[in-house]
A and B are shown apart, each in its own frame.
Chain A
């Protein structure tokens, strides 16, 4: 089973017509389950609210006048079950409210625009993936004939289909498979400060020789950036000690942030210059 332990395993190429690879990231199973459960909660709450309104309406109006209300109720429940996913995913953001909350959307596997028939195909299949087995159990339970066997059968069915996406590389539901779609992350990042432009009076005191800057590569630089952005005192102290030990510089614990800022700035400029000259030093092992 290809699990999502390695995040890079879920990255797929998406080359725009302009020729830039945007490298979409597929959504892991846990996030998709979360989005689906959010949608189910929304549907169930909406159904309960509408049902309560209808019941009070029935009580107030008497059975004869309640008929239009009854029809509206039945169609509403039907739409909630069948059209909720389709309507939201056919919209501009190609995502249900649940998917929006967790920051994902549906996309066509071919990279072209998502068409409405794809949205319909992937959502009608949900009927046999989830709703059919569960409604069999519910109907039999309601009629008082839910024997163990049929309950187990329904549960196994639902589980098999909902776990289907764990058993393929691209995290496809059966519906995705038939519609030619997949679900990708649409993260929203804020434009954050450029760490190498940070002005720090203490950092100005640190200077590094080319030999000291040659100790690390791009992979380490990115880790260092992460540590600096996280701004955790103890983590920075530990990293400063490690780097100081490696390049032979003495760092006071109180200065570790300034030291790392200085080293980050110098290292990045050093590596970026090499990059301009066509030498991509991937990590500290690269020559």
Chain B
């Protein structure tokens, strides 16, 4: 051989590097394959304890291989293995039950509290929309058709008789498909709320418009009933589910506004970081909004048609509102440790 002495020694040591550690890599790979398919409970205690050890061993093998070996297939294998291990060990670190618990006890109310400014704006916009529409319809009833599409009005318009209007409020609608109707309302309202949230991305303008429009429809409908002396009754009809539903939609709009304003005015963070931060708060709030809409759908589909007493309707609606406000703003979990 014309080679300088030592080249063969290099070959030998790198071969033994691989031979000595190969068993560990294979064991780590097999364990990962098992825990990725099933819950970690499928592992024995020893296997569970060996997982981080094997991960660190794979990582150090990778560092050694990168520094000394030129076998690109080996390095690619170790990189892929370490990445899988990294995502497993540093990915979702908490169990599902704990995450759900955290959501209800802390994350959800905290996200809503965090959005308090946007929530006030959202509520304000609804009120402004309602007052404006009330005043517009009162001054010229043709505005009604412009605000509420005839297909949505369901025969309720300024020309309807008192009896027609009253029947909508108290007629149970023949009991058909009540819970089906609730499910439909829930899915429909949630889709609207998701839009109010997602469209906020466009610098909050569409969210503002959706919330304003929502308020307008409320005001227009109210004027029609109030003009016939049915304002109080309509209030009951609306409030049984409306306090929950309108609050939820206002929160969805607030979440959308948060995203839009943070993208427009990121402050000290980079635009990307600000968007990501706002997106996460808003997303947590949105899941809460969907839960609220589920309640609203149930109240609307079942409660509103079967409960026809004004007082009961107001009591349920007011009670729900008090419940939400207490839960979001008054009730705070004591934070433990690193909370």
Give Cα distance in the complex from A125 to B69, angstroms: 45
- Given the contacts A74-B183, A191-B26, A127 and B194 also touching, CB distance less than 8 Å: yes
CB <8 Å contact, A178 and B15: no
Q: What's the interface size class on A, roughly?
A: 35 or more
> Digit string of B156-195 for contact with A (CB within 8 Å is 1, else 0)?
0000000000000000000001011001101100110011
Q: Which of A44-52, A194-202, A248-256 contacts B (4 or more CB under 8 A)?
A: A194-202
The contact of B275 among A67, A68, A177, A207, by CB within 8 Å, is: A177
CB <8 Å contact, A23 and B286: no
CB <8 Å contact, A177 and B70: no
Which of B63, B180, B259 has the most chain A CB atoms inside 10 A of its CB?
A: B180
Give Cα distance in the complex from A124 to B192, angstroms: 12
Q: Which of A13-21, A29-37, A233-241 contacts B (4 or more CB under 8 A)?
A: A13-21
- Given the contacts A16-B59, A67-B177, A179-B276, A92 and B8 also touching, CB distance less than 8 Å: no
CB <8 Å contact, A192 and B198: no
Chain B residue with Cβ nearest A192: B73
Which of B4, B18, B71, B273 has the most chain A CB atoms inside 10 A of its CB?
A: B71
Q: Does A261 contact B (CB under 8 A)?
A: no
Interface of B is mostly: helix
> Digit string of A103-119 for contact with B (CB within 8 Å is 1, else 0)?
00101010011111110
Q: Does A132 contact B (CB under 8 A)?
A: yes
User: B280 contacts which chain A residues (CB < 8 A)?
Assistant: 115, 117-118, 121, 179-180
CB <8 Å contact, B183 and A113: no
CB <8 Å contact, A229 and B73: yes
CB <8 Å contact, B56 and A18: yes
Q: Does A258 contact B (CB under 8 A)?
A: no
Q: Does B11 contact A (CB under 8 A)?
A: yes
Chain B residue with Cβ nearest A128: B198
Q: Does A39 contact B (CB under 8 A)?
A: no
Q: Does B327 contact A (CB under 8 A)?
A: no
User: A188 contacts which chain B residues (CB < 8 A)?
Assistant: 80, 84
The A-contacting residues of B in range 1-56, CB under 8 angstroms, are: 1-4, 6-8, 10-11, 14-15, 18, 22, 25-26, 35-36, 56
- Given the contacts A71-B180, A78-B190, A125-B198, A120 and B284 also touching, CB distance less than 8 Å: yes
CB <8 Å contact, B283 and A117: yes
Min C-beta distance of A249 to chain B, whole Å: 13
Chain B residue with Cβ nearest A132: B195
The contact of A180 among B14, B62, B279, B286, by CB within 8 Å, is: B279
The contact of A70 among B14, B73, B180, by CB within 8 Å, is: B180
Q: Does A26 contact B (CB under 8 A)?
A: no
Q: Which of B88-96, B124-132, B141-149 contacts A (4 or more CB under 8 A)?
A: B88-96
Give Cα distance in the complex from A107 to B8, angstroms: 43
Q: Does B322 contact A (CB under 8 A)?
A: no
CB <8 Å contact, A189 and B73: yes
Chain B residue with Cβ nearest A175: B279
CB <8 Å contact, A93 and B36: yes
Give Cα distance in the complex from A47 to B8, angstroms: 63
Q: Does B208 contact A (CB under 8 A)?
A: no
User: B117 contacts which chain A residues (CB < 8 A)?
Assistant: none
The B-contacting residues of A in range 203-255, CB under 8 angstroms, are: 207-210, 218, 221-222, 225, 229
CB <8 Å contact, A186 and B276: no
Give Cα distance in the complex from A268 to B11, angstroms: 9
Min C-beta distance of B264 to chain A, whole Å: 14
CB <8 Å contact, A16 and B90: yes
CB <8 Å contact, A20 and B73: no
User: A75 contacts which chain B residues (CB < 8 A)?
Assistant: 183, 187
CB <8 Å contact, A112 and B90: yes
Give Cα distance in the complex from A279 to B127, angstroms: 74
> Digit string of B278-296 for contact with A (CB within 8 Å is 1, else 0)?
1111111011000000000
Q: Does A284 contact B (CB under 8 A)?
A: no
Residues of A within 8 A of B (CB): 14, 16-18, 20, 22-24, 67-68, 70-71, 74-75, 77-78, 82, 90-94, 105, 107, 109, 112-118, 120-122, 124-125, 127-128, 132, 174, 177-180, 186-192, 194-197, 207-210, 218, 221-222, 225, 229, 265-266, 268-273, 275-276
- A-B contacts, 8 of them at CB < 8 A, read A20-B59, A70-B177, A75-B187, A121-B279, A121-B282, A179-B276, A189-B76, A196-B14
